[in-house]
Amino acid sequence: MTQRLPATSSGLETAARILREGGLVAFGTETVYGLGGDATQPAAVARIFEAKNRPRFNPLISHFATADAAFEQVVATPLARKLAQAFWPGPLTLVLPRAPTSSICDLAADGLESLAVRVPKGECVQALLQAVNRPIAAPSANRSGRISPSDASHVLEELEGRIDAVLDSGPCAVGLESTVLDLTAEDRPLLLRPGGIPAEALEEICGPLAYPETETDAAPASPGRMLSHYAPALPVRLNATSVKPTEGLLAFGPIPLAGAGAVWNLSQTGNLEEAAARLFSGLRYLDKQGALLGLTGVAVQSVPAHGLGRAIQDRLRRAAAPRPL
Ligand code: TXA
Ligand code: MG
């Protein structure tokens, strides 16, 4: 059952408690309804992907009540601060280098070195973010491939029974997602997604913007994006049915293959949400063990192709893809 919470102080309190406990709450922002989860808890973020039925992981925007809170998680540039001053709270998302001290989990950032941050506008979302006082990851609250919801009833049509609650703050003022601006590029800021703040308004502060050369440059599957992902140092071998002592094993399920030099089990019980939440930490762990023990590769046991399994497979395929020299 998904609770429909009113935008009252008790509704807000309940929503904040659910989020802190790792649950999922959809909430209205000025753009569209977001499907929120605590960005510091991998299990909560895994649940977001599961609820959306996403075939692949995607970096998520982290939401904050204030620019100061957002800038604790990233390395802010003077330009980022100027843009924040001009447009926050409001429908602008900034992509910046993730701070070394960031508490955002790898699953929310999809293992990237960068992080998308935004301070949404609206009394209700502001009160919620202040009450939770943690970064909240929130993609649009629709099932994967469907239209973004701009009303609480749209959210329920999409996600009834798949999330804990929806905080009903009425229809969204903008109804279109935030503008995503990448400030990590070398020269000009890169407009990754047009949205609630028009490019002209940004250019008044940034000067001319750069645009992705082709549609796919901004798509997560493009090779350019793939390179910037965290890829393990060791070569990755998928669908292993046996493993050597010189390999690390990324196992799944109750019967890990025998004989590996090091093992990380994504989920002993074969639970895909748990596996998603443990995926990035597993790759990092096996990399570290590899360096320590002189391992030569990582073997991956197969993961079923349903639910979050598809997103896990997608991420592993990218980890196993040939690397540039
Ligand atoms: O208005 C919005 O932005 C809404 C509300 C809920 O805040 N959220 C939203 O999230 O539209 P989502 O997940 O549907 O879209 C996020 C976009 C995606 O295109 C994603 O690829 C991009 O932001 N993005 C997130 N992190 C990124 C990163 N580190 N680098 C580049 N692009 C990133
Ligand atoms: Mg979306």
320 pLDDT more than 80: yes
**What's the burial of 131, exposed, middle or buried (CB within 10 Å: 0-12/13-18/19+)?**
middle
CA of residue 115 to ligand 2 center, whole Å: 16
Lowest average pLDDT, out of 5-14, 94-103, 191-200, 243-252, goes to: 191-200
- Mean pLDDT of the region 271-300: 91
Q: Residue with the nearest Cα to atom 31 of ligand 1? A: 95
Q: Can you give the pLDDT at residue 57?
A: 85
Beta bridge partners of 182: 95, 190
Cα→Cα distances 297→145, 229, 246, 282, Å:
35, 18, 7, 14
2 pLDDT more than 60: yes
Q: In this structure, are strands 179-182 and 190-193 parallel, antiparallel, or unpaired?
A: antiparallel
Q: Can you give the pLDDT at residue 214?
A: 54
Question: Using one digit for the tens of pLDDT, what is the confidence trace for 259-280?
Answer: 999 999 999 999 988 898 888 7
Residues 124 and 230: their CA atoms lie apart, in Å, by: 35
CA of residue 312 to ligand 2 center, whole Å: 19
More confident residue, 279 or 120: 120
Residues 257 and 35: their CA atoms lie apart, in Å, by: 37
Band (233; pLDDT cuts 50, 70, 90): confident
Band (324; pLDDT cuts 50, 70, 90): low
Which amino acid, 136? I
- Mean pLDDT of the region 77-105: 97
Which string of b and e fits 279-308 if b means at least 16 CB within 10 Å? bbebbebbbebbeeeebebbbbbebeeebb
User: What is the CA angle 225-179-143, rounded to 5?
Assistant: 70
- Mean pLDDT of the region 292-315: 90
Question: Using one digit for the tens of pLDDT, what is the confidence trace for 52-67?
Answer: 988 788 899 999 999 9
**Mutational test site, ligand 1, from 31, 143, 174, 177, max ligand atoms within 8 Å of CB:** 177
Beta bridge partners of 181: 94, 191
CA of residue 61 to ligand 1 center, whole Å: 5
Query: Using the 8-state DSSP alphabet, how is residue 215 labeled?
Result: G
Residues 52 and 307: their CA atoms lie apart, in Å, by: 10
Q: Can you give the pLDDT at residue 68?
A: 98
Q: Can you give the pLDDT at residue 230?
A: 55
227 pLDDT more than 50: no
CA of residue 276 to ligand 2 center, whole Å: 20
Q: What is the largest CA-CA distance in the chain?
A: 61
Q: Closest ligand 1 atom to the C-alpha of 192?
A: 32
Q: Average pLDDT over the chain, rounded to whole?
A: 91
Inter-residue contact 189 to 181 (CB < 8 Å): yes
Residues 201 and 191: their CA atoms lie apart, in Å, by: 12
42 pLDDT more than 60: yes
Residues 50 and 182: their CA atoms lie apart, in Å, by: 27
Inter-residue contact 63 to 118 (CB < 8 Å): yes
215 pLDDT more than 50: no
Q: Closest ligand 1 atom to the C-alpha of 184?
A: 30
218 pLDDT more than 90: no
Residues 48 and 24: their CA atoms lie apart, in Å, by: 7
CA of residue 56 to ligand 1 center, whole Å: 14
85 pLDDT more than 80: yes
Question: Using one digit for the tens of pLDDT, what is the confidence trace for 145-188?
Answer: 888 898 999 899 989 999 999 999 999 988 788 999 999 987 89
Q: Residue with the nearest Cα to atom 19 of ligand 1? A: 193
325 pLDDT more than 60: no
Name every residue whose Cβ is closer than 8 Å to that of residue 21 and which is 6 or more positions away in sequence: none
Q: Residue with the nearest Cα to atom 24 of ligand 1? A: 59
Q: Residue with the nearest Cα to atom 6 of ligand 1? A: 34
CA of residue 59 to ligand 2 center, whole Å: 11
What is the C-alpha end-to-end distance of the chain, expressed in Å?
A: 51
- Mean pLDDT of the region 107-118: 95
The DSSP string of 262-284 is EEEES-TT--HHHHHHHHHHHHH
SS3 (DSSP) at 286 = helix
Ligand whose nearest atom lies closest to the CA of 119: 1
Q: Can you give the pLDDT at residue 174?
A: 83
**Mutational test site, ligand 1, from 114, 119, 124, 140, max ligand atoms within 8 Å of CB:** 140
CA of residue 5 to ligand 1 center, whole Å: 25
CA of residue 171 to ligand 1 center, whole Å: 20
Q: Taking CB atoms and a 6 Å cutoff, what residues make up the pocket around ligand 1? A: 29, 31-32, 34, 58-61, 91, 93, 95, 112, 114-116, 118, 120, 138-140, 177-178, 180, 182, 192-193, 220
288 pLDDT more than 60: yes
Backbone phi and psi for residue 157, each to the nearest 5 degrees, phi listed first: -60, -35
**What's the burial of 142, exposed, middle or buried (CB within 10 Å: 0-12/13-18/19+)?**
buried
Q: Can you give the pLDDT at residue 267?
A: 96
Q: Residue with the nearest Cα to atom 15 of ligand 1? A: 139
3-class secondary structure per residue, 162-183: CCCEEEECCCCCCCCCCEEEEC
Q: Can you give the pLDDT at residue 217?
A: 39
Ligand whose nearest atom lies closest to the CA of 60: 1
